[in-house]
Chains A and B, each alone.
Chain A
Amino acid sequence: MENLSLLLPEIALSGFALLLMLADVWIPPKHGRVLFHLALLAAAAGLGLLGLCASNPAAYQGVGTLWTVDPLSVFFKILVLASAVLVLLLSVDAKRQDEHHLGTYSGLILLASAGMMLLVSAVDLVMVFLALELISISSFVLTGFERGDQRSSEGAIKYFLFGAFSTAVMVFGLSLFYGATGTTHLLKPVPQYSYATSTMFLLSCLLMLVGFGFKVSMAPFHFWVPDAYEAAPTPVTTFLSIAPKVAGLAMLLRVFTRLIPHPALELSALFSFLAMLTMTVGNLTALFQTNVKRLLAYSSIAQAGYMLIGFVTADALGREGVLLYSLVYLFMNTGAFAVAIAVGNEEGYGLEGFDGLAQRNFGLALVMAFFLLSLAGIPPMAGFVGKFTLFAAAVQGGFYGLAVVAVLNSVVSVYYYMLIAYRMFFVPPRTERPVAPGLYLFSGLALAAIAVLVIGVYPEPVLSVVKISAEMLP
């Protein structure tokens, strides 16, 4: 049992998650908030344990050969846990229908996080499958957590049906992969893709891509996104829009740019097309939304499209772009959702809730403007640095068409992001009642805002971390 320490964070997190669900039984609903604090502690402990995983390349793989704990996976594990922490902060102050089962709620968030942490480490397709299922099942339940709300249940069912279908397709792809190569292990030295021309192998890759594409909301597998996002409790929406997406992208990076590089399979043109489709579909549909959760849902599809650029170019700069953008996206999207929760607690989630926010709480409106501008990629916000890196990768890799489509999409996206700014700053408020975010929400918001500004103005430290993490990809 050497290097068991590599898995300590996941083990600890899962243990805590089960404990939290048990604690639900004993802790009365009126003290339910205690459970959030415990979950936060658990996530923080997980972050601390990740420090123990920092090791040398010789010890990347511990027991078995199912996973590898390299800088790339550590980077994404930190992102996932940071996202869990932020989401738990947001959850404390979000309005709920009832205070029951908060232990289950926070436990499921931790379990989903553990699944994502396993996913970004996985180097065996069986492991990939198990991790994906752990994430999916936790997310299905979380989406339908507002049991009293029919929409919530409807969204959860939709999500589940789509999810189950894509999983089935992916498993079929896995079996074909095994048939073509005789292994599910991705690190095994395989004869230089001599089977690359084999139809069975290509088909297996494409079918697996359906499963992965579902997770990262790649078009045309994105249909579940707006319904599930709108139906889920908003903190869960925040979580779903960030953590599974970046984890899925990390796994795509590992599998399809390093272990089975897609340029070798001559799939780059297809992936480039899918990236363009994803961002265009996301942006064009977002233009017509009147609900902030749906708007941010479509925006998150478009954001996934931008991140796919780094996956398409499949070179060092592209990988760095994905890593950097994932980090930035974590902060800016959490921030935007945090403001949406603060407003939504009072006014509901229609866009008209933002009317005149600048006059009700100028600070809140200003940071929301920061997050929106960051999402739109306007300097000096962090989102610009991320997009800049991704576009740079596209230009360097010679994907000029993709670059042009991507920048045009940025222009389109400004319209709907500014639609919120327009409501906040230009439209007079319908009520003078000030909007006051709770303490936990405020701290999450402040963290996100500081990160977005600091990374935007001085990105060098983050860039160098990203560089190290991306280069060490096995």
Chain B
Amino acid sequence: MGILSLVTFLPLLGALILLFIPKEDKTATRAVGVGAALLTFLVSLLTLRSFDPSLSAPEGLAMQMVERFSWIPSFSIHYHLGVDGLSLPIVLLTTLLSVCAAVYSMNIEVRVKEFYFWLLLLEVGMTGVFVSLDLFLFYVFWELTLVPMYFLIGIWGGPKKEYAAIKFFLFTLFGSVFMLLGILALFFASNPHSFDMLELARSHGAFGREFQIIVFLAFYLGFAVKVPAFPFHTWLPLAHVEAPTGVSVILAGVLLKMGVYGLLRVCYTILPAGYEWFLPFLVIIAFINIVYGALCAMAQTDMKKMVAYSSINHMGYALLGMAAVSPTGFSGASLQMITHGLITGALFLLVGVIYDRAHTRDISAFGGLGAKVPLYAGLMSLTCFASLGLPGLAGFISEFLCFLGAFPVWKLYTSLSVIGILITAAFFLRMIQKVFLGPLNEKWASLSDMNARELVSVLPLTVLTVLFGLWPSLILDLMNPTLEALAKLFPGMFQLVR
């Protein structure tokens, strides 16, 4: 068993162990849940030791730690895992955020066993999506994330949890069934029939342009719902707001990345002509996501909803970077995935912290908390600054790279998208002002600062945010060679739009 299989299936082992713990024993349940997530994270860190970022293959897709054996020979389906500079950082992000979510969720008191069971199962699906190199396997893992998430939102969520859960399920499934048809179309169009992403990418020349466009659209439906790209974003605010804090972190931090990752890994490498055809639309969608997402966030009075809409805005930056099809744009998009995971993950946790105490998330219900809970105020402000793109913090680097990459190609839309940054700054600053500054709202005089559990779940994310902001090459070096190779994969791209 290779290390990637280990990382993928360790949480499953944890989930199975959980089944044998009596449900009254909440301490043991939590210990196993957090322990399994932590162990997975530590094992995933081991992959860094054997990972060689500079490794590249002539055709641009150099996979490492590959595991490949026949799974369903009748359809030539393989169990095929591997990582490169694109997927490895996201895998690490996934395992890290799972630990944070598991630690934070230790305050859950009802049906603890089921909670950790579904959470660990969810981690299996998420990790699997990022490491699988066979489209069938990819699809299986993709769908595997649906069911646990449905239960996590539906059982432990907010007031409208049932509606949010089924809406999430149906939206995502609606997109992904078209992806399934796209996968089948690729399978039958390839010769010999194959589900292997790498083989399909090598034989992309065999697919006609119209075929590529149609299949691209089928895949795009699946990915766009997950990103979420306008107009498929309506499930997101609902699901993010209704989900319990730990699950919101996973939703925003990891599940959204599945869409962007899929666009790069599948659509771009296998269907370049379709991708090229779609670029003008992609950049418009990116623009809408950025500005519309920011404006929606601005209009919210609920902190969690505001953070949720800001995710739509941030994913817009990633799409903008991807529309650039240049090394800079791609590294901007990839870095944006990581930084958004860290920053927005931390934001959701911090919103959860105050909600647990005040039982409200209304921005205007607070005031003057800065002196009352200094630690919380400091962390929250820092994270907000990171999210609005303050230089010196991680968010700035990735957003800057996205704009830098996109500007030479899409001057108009890139310039217009800058408005998004302005609005983002506006609503985050307004929130900081209303919550932390001004006179103390006496209602909250007895508010306590963050406890150890909350600090343990938030601090790693904050530390990484600062670290990547000051020293971005720490992570960029890991992904850049791969992304550069990816961007140069199709020298002919852009003939149309340029």
Contact = CB atoms under 8 A, between A and B. Distances in A.
A411 B139 contact: no
A323 to B, nearest CB: 12
Nearest to A404: B181
A317 B181 CA distance: 16
A418 B177 contact: no
A467 interface: yes
Of A379, A403, A418, A425, most B-chain CB atoms within 10 Å: A379
B143 to A, nearest CB: 5
Interface string B147-168: 1001100110000011001100
A395 B188 contact: yes
B71 interface: yes
B155 A425 contact: yes
Contacts of A392: 75, 184, 187-188
A426 B166 contact: no
A408 B144 CA distance: 19
A219 to B, nearest CB: 22
B72 interface: yes
A459 to B, nearest CB: 6
B141 to A, nearest CB: 8
Nearest to A385: B72
Interface in A384-423: 384, 388, 391-392, 395-396, 403-404, 407-408, 410-411, 414-415, 418, 421-422
A378 interface: yes
A379 B143 contact: yes
Nearest to A408: B177
Nearest to A409: B177
B376 interface: no
Contacts of B154: 422, 425-426
Contacts of B146: 378
Contacts of B382: none
B155 A460 contact: no
Contact of B147 (A373, A403, A407, A464): A373
A411 B173 contact: yes
A459 B74 CA distance: 9
A463 interface: yes
Contacts of B155: 425-426
B147 A378 contact: yes
Contacts of B493: none
B468 interface: no
Interface residues of A, number: 32
A379 B121 CA distance: 13
Contact of B170 (A407, A415, A464): A415
A380 interface: yes
Given A378-B143, A415-B170, A422-B154, A460 B72 contact: yes
A460 B73 contact: yes
Interface in B114-147: 114, 136, 139-140, 143-144, 146-147
Contact of B144 (A380, A388, A425): A380
B150 A411 contact: no
B477 to A, nearest CB: 36
B219 interface: no
Nearest to B157: A426
A422 B185 contact: no
A459 B144 CA distance: 17
Interface residues of B, number: 33
B177 A411 contact: yes
A93 B292 CA distance: 59
B174 interface: yes
A418 B72 CA distance: 29
Contacts, number: 78
Nearest to B179: A407
A391 B140 contact: no
A464 B72 CA distance: 10
B180 A391 contact: yes
Interface in A414-440: 414-415, 418, 421-422, 425-426
Contact of B181 (A362, A380, A403, A467): A403
A396 B72 contact: no
A407 B179 CA distance: 10
Contacts of B136: 388
A380 B140 contact: yes
Contacts of A421: 150
B174 A460 contact: no
Nearest to A387: B180
A407 B140 contact: no
B178 interface: yes
Contacts of B348: none
A380 B188 CA distance: 22
Given A391-B184, A396-B188, A460 B71 contact: yes
Given A391-B184, A407-B178, A415 B74 contact: no
Contact of B185 (A380, A395, A410): A395
Given A378-B143, A378-B147, A415-B170, A422 B180 contact: no
Shortest beta-carbon contacts, A-B, top 3: A407-B177, A379-B140, A463-B74
Interface of B: 71-75, 114, 136, 139-140, 143-144, 146-147, 150-151, 154-155, 161-162, 165-166, 169-170, 173-174, 177-178, 180-181, 184-185, 187-188
27 contacts: A369-B147, A373-B147, A378-B143, A378-B147, A379-B139, A379-B144, A380-B144, A388-B180, A395-B184, A395-B185, A395-B188, A404-B181, A408-B177, A411-B170, A414-B170, A418-B150, A418-B166, A418-B169, A422-B166, A426-B161, A426-B162, A426-B165, A459-B72, A460-B74, A463-B72, A464-B74, A467-B74
Given A404-B181, A407-B177, A459-B72, 5 more contacts: A395-B181, A407-B178, A410-B173, A411-B170, A422-B166
